[in-house]
Amino acid sequence: MPRERRFKVFDFSMSETANHNYALRKYFFLIAALVVLLDRISKWTVAASLPLHNELTVIPGFFQITHVENAGAAFGLFAESTVHWKVAALVTFSLIALIIVTVLLWKNSHSVSTMTVGLSLILGGAFGNLWDRIVDGHVVDFLDFHIGAYHWPAFNVADSAIVVGAILLVAEILFAKPSSQAVKSSS
């Protein structure tokens, strides 16, 4: 008769559910990796083919591709700051955000949901911009929208992924239907 273990601390066998969760995690991290890849390719293409501060009009009066280097945060926040520790602070903040998002994604990767896709997009976008800050000390922004006198600050694929991911998280919070267990426990 096999001996039963009293402690399962070192039991590394995976149940069918755990295998399913692991399989889903791969997809969420694949989404993040695709965001990083698209971000890197687009920034490299713009930096290689469009001189700094030049622009290419795509839709007159609305959209152009421009080449700017953003030493600040998203959408140019703090770009004009002369504080010498700005890049270190932005890198530190990005690393903290990456850790938090990765933990949240790891813990909630048991199903495909608006939240997990949103977290994947945020993870990829944050990593894409962090890469630039560590390597170059700035981020290449190139998507430039304006309507009449109103001009939105230039941004990039990583910024777009972060914003779309945040919108998905807000949508999940605002519009998610309560689970049947939550309804039962509150009655």
Active-site positions read 141, 159
- Describe the strand order of the beta sheet including 55-59 as a list of residue ranges: 55-59, 63-70, 139-147, 150-151
Task: Output the CA torsion sign for 174, 76, 141, 129.
Answer: negative
Residue 50: CB atoms within 10 A of its CB come to 16
